[in-house]
Structure 1
């Protein structure tokens, strides 16, 4: 399955990052990559992620959250266009 990715570096560290992956079926994956300087960093370059699914793909319990995450995806794209990192 293909996904579009929007990512944005955080403001408080040199390498922390938020990634939103929008899959073709409408599911959204949120991936948080902590800074290596973070005391909770455990050596995983992938961070932690959660997935919210569309109604047709086994989800539908969090429709407002899913919409907000899609809006966040668009906001990150807009920030990246206006203020590239």
Structure 2
């Protein structure tokens, strides 16, 4: 769901590039077609890189959140351990 927008962008870029390629083919501009293909591939690779970086950032955020949760649990366990060490006679 989160990456749906990125995927839609990729599909839009691909569609735009296919249309440009089709137009170049129709007009017989093979040199232009090669340039269009090269530009399309470069744009596609750049978008893939951005999506991968977004995924890594998301995973890092999840790891940090998990570490914070574990720290809270550890602190809670320390507190419970301290409470259980109090002698029964109240001293």
Q: What TM-score do you get using the length of structure 2 for normalisation? A: 0.34
Higher helix share: 2
Higher strand share: 1
From the CA coordinates, give the structure whose radius of gyration is larger.
2
Q: What TM-score do you get using the length of structure 1 for normalisation? A: 0.36
